[in-house]
Each structure stands twice: as structure tokens, then as C-alpha cells.
Amino acid sequence: MSKRKTNLTRRGFLWRTAGLVAAPVIVPATALGLGGSVPPSERIILGGLGIGNRGSHDLQWMLPEKDVQFVADCDPQKSRAEKVKNIVDTRYGNKDFKIYHNTPEFLAERTDIDALLVTTGDRWHALASILAMRAGKDVYSEKPSSMTVAEGRAVADTAKRHRRIYQTGTQRLSEGNFTFCNEMLRLGRLGDVHTVRAHIAPWDAAEMRHDWLPAQPLPPKDEVDWDQWLGPCPWRPYNPAYCSGGWRGFYDFHTSCIGEWGAHTFAQCQVAIGQQYTSAIDYKYVNNKTGDGMVTTFPNGVKMVLQLEGWRGSCGVTFEGTEGWVGAADGYSQPDVSNPAMLDDFKKLVGDYMARTQRPMSHVRNFLDCVKSRQQTVANAEMMHRSMTTVHAANICMWLKRDLKFDPDKERFVNDPQADRFLSRAMREPWIY
């Protein structure tokens, strides 16, 4: 057998064994920020908690943003989490999206996540936001963002203590028609504004149910983790209707017809009249099921009327002054005005607002911009808490069936221990903040 002489240098050997000969290194353009993509160092890594029907709408706004990478969702309902994974994997063209079912474990493990989209049912909004912010994450939370005054205060204090960016999902604060109405009021175009009207939901009632649905057999824990689903609420027997939105109208889980849309419209009104960092001080009881017609009064003397009718769409507001009025609701092509000439400055007023505040007409984009700049969002935690306090106080007025007075500084009712008992609720361990 003949021996063949091999001329192989040490360097050549290393290159061959490493498989690098004639094998160029290919770096994807997206990793370099080319082709209009955003480099990884500038992307916001996003996670989700409880992405259901409402959360899917939020995702439609967030996923197209080039500087967002949505990587994981935590949900006690397996079927919902898998639906979200399918949406995200399809969009990104991979299978990288991760599913979790335990909130504390999710928050502890995913230290790479910058921000969290919280779109659970009402009962979880505040606690999830608090836990997320304590874990160092910024939060976009769906509304209503608190179940009680105490919960709202805890969210606001946590955001401040941990220096977190927070946005509550009152997206109409970032829409042109509503912004125009706010600017008309701010600039004095309506004269002295004396009354604002806030749309409340035309279903359910202010007085909610205190019973619960009949017990059904629990599904396997890996299908629905019922303990996780309930979270801080009292233990209630499992019924599948709860998991598909049937929790609305129950005191344990909901904030009533007042909170359903008032979480939007009260915030819109309070921002417009410059009372976003306080709450209404006087509440006049109305003898009906919904609170329709209740008159609340703010420290500056402006009255806000809770109203079921008067708009052609949902979540409407109307602002009335000595020189005219304006109004808007979902689905309007343009705001309603007392004088058509008011609309001549529509584009200018909205444009001036955007230039002055550096806020876009996109609630999601405002949040993402603030995650990067660390500036306050248009619907920050303190604003959320103050407007939701007005929601909760209006509910309590309806529950006690009498007029109430509230002190926004002390965050207590005036000489009314019975009303004060509704400012907080017991939370079921270990789901406490």
C-alpha cells in the first residue's frame, strides 16, 4: 500500500475541520437593521397576559410596528394561548413564540421582555400590572384598569416607585375626533364649559349580581387552570361560560355598565376639562338601574352627566359651553358641532396638538414611543387611577342608593364609613399585591 504525502498546514487543518472552507457567513439583513427593519438593539420585546378577543384587537395595532417583537403569552386557557401563537408565528414565519400558563413563573423566567400587554378580564388588570412593573416591565393594560380605588392607587404607586411606563387602553385619547373636541375646550372655543356628558354602556346594570353560575366539572388543569383564571377573586365554582365572557355583570369580576364604557368616557371628559389628576367630589343618586342621568361635579365646578343616549356610536362624549358644544363617538366621520364653521380648523387643531405634545394619533405608538423616551403616556397610571376613582365612586353611589361626597386628596368619602368600605376588596391568597 503506497503512502501519499499530504501537504496540510496547521491553519489549513483548522479551517477545514471547522467547515469554513468555501462557506461564507450569511448575516440576515434584519439582524443589521437593513431593508427598513429595526436592529435588535432598538426593538421592544413584548409579552402578553391573557390575550383574548380584546387583546387580539390590540395585537392588530402592535404587531405591524417595526420596532416590536412579540415573543410570548401567558394564559390559563390553553386554547386561547394557542390561537395567539398561531397568529404570531404566521406573521413572523417561524415557531419561536412561547406559551406559559403560570403568571409568576412567566414574569420570573422572561427577563428579556421589556413590556407587557395585559388584556385579561377586569379582575386581573391591576394585579397583573403591579406584578409586571415590579418585575421591571412597562405595561399597556386594557380597561377598566382597576376594580377598586385601592387597586388603582396601588397601580399608580407601583408605576412611580419602579419608574415604569404605563398606558391604560383608553385609546380614544389618541384619536383625531376626540382630540379635536378636547382642543376646542382647552383653547376656549366653547366659552365657559359648564357640562360634559359621558356615555355609559347600554347593557347590564350598576347593581351587579352577587351569586354565581352553577358548578360544572373542572377541565384538566393544562386546559384551563381555574385557580389562575380566578386570580385575586373569591373562589367560585368553575363554569365554562365565565371563560368566554360570561363573567360580565357579576360583582366578583366586573365594574358594571358604568365601568364598562365609563372607563373610556370619564377619562376623556376629565382630560378635556383639566381634571385628569383629581376625581369628582359630588355624586347625585338617580333612581334607576344604570346610573343614567347621574350628575357628578368636579373640584373646578364642571358637571359631568352619565348618559345612555345622545350619540350614534359607542363611548361618546359631549362638551357644552356658553359659546357652543362639540361631541364625538365611535364611527363618526367628523365630530358633531353646534356650528359647522368650528370644523374649519379640525386638521390644524389636531396637528397643533401633535406638535405641542409630541404624541401621535395612535395610542399604541404613544406607548411604544414612551417606552423608549421614558416620558409619561397620555393615559398614564395616575390619570387612570383618578378617572377610575370617579367610576368606582359613581358605582358606590348607585349601590348605596344615596348622594355621596368624595375627597380626592384623602381618597375617602366625606364622613361616610359605610361608603369607605367599598374602596377596596379582599384578595384571595396567594394572588395579592
| Rg of the chain, C-alpha, whole Å | 26
State pTM to two decimals. Answer: 0.91
**Rounded distance between C-alpha atoms, residue 145 and residue 121, angstroms:** 10
Break the chain into its structural domains and give their ranges.
37-168, 174-208+254-360+381-423
Tell me the sheet residues that pair with 307: 199
Please give the share of the chain, as a percent, with pLDDT higher than 90. Answer: 88
Q: For 113-157, give the DSSP string.
A: --EEEE-S-HHHHHHHHHHHHHTT-EEEEPSS--SSHHHHHHHHH
- The yes-or-no verdict on residue 340 having pLDDT over 90 is yes
Residue 193's pLDDT is: 98
What tens digit of pLDDT does each residue of 204-248 get? 999 999 999 999 999 999 999 999 999 999 999 999 999 999 999
Grid coordinates given for 104: 409568576
Mean residue pLDDT across the chain: 92
Helices (H), 276-407: 346-357, 363-373, 381-400
Contact of 71 with 47, CB cutoff 8 Å: yes
What tens digit of pLDDT does each residue of 112-156 get? 999 999 999 999 999 999 999 999 999 999 999 999 999 999 999
Helix 363-373 vs helix 53-62: angle between axes, to the nearest 10 degrees? 60
User: What DSSP character marks residue 199?
Assistant: E
What tens digit of pLDDT does each residue of 360-380 get? 999 999 999 999 999 999 999
Give the domain 37-168 fold.
Answer: Rossmann fold (3.40.50)
Residue 17's pLDDT is: 35
- The yes-or-no verdict on residue 29 having pLDDT over 70 is no
Q: For 24-84, give the DSSP string.
A: -----HHHHT-TT---GGGPEEEEEES--HHHHHHHHHHTT-TTEEEEEEE-SBHHHHHHH
Contact of 51 with 87, CB cutoff 8 Å: no
Contact of 35 with 29, CB cutoff 8 Å: yes
What tens digit of pLDDT does each residue of 57-76 get? 899 999 999 999 999 999 99
**Rounded distance between C-alpha atoms, residue 348 and residue 410, angstroms:** 40
Residue 38's pLDDT is: 82
Smallest Cα–Cα separation from 152: which of 425, 413, 389, 405?
389
Grid coordinates given for 208: 351587579
Contact of 44 with 68, CB cutoff 8 Å: yes
- 21, 77, 139, 234, 304 from 229: Cα distances, Å: 55, 8, 20, 11, 35
What tens digit of pLDDT does each residue of 250-294 get? 999 999 999 999 999 999 999 999 999 999 999 999 999 999 999
**φ, ψ (nearest 5 deg) of residue 327:** -160, 155
What tens digit of pLDDT does each residue of 405-425 get? 999 999 999 999 999 999 999
Q: Which CATH class is domain 174-208+254-360+381-423?
A: alpha beta
Span 187-205, average pLDDT: 97
Smallest Cα–Cα separation from 119: which of 168, 158, 154?
168
The reply to whether 174-208+254-360+381-423 shares the fold of 37-168 is no
Grid coordinates given for 399: 349601590
Residue 35's pLDDT is: 52
- 46, 132, 148, 235, 407 from 426: Cα distances, Å: 31, 21, 11, 12, 23
Residue 12's pLDDT is: 41
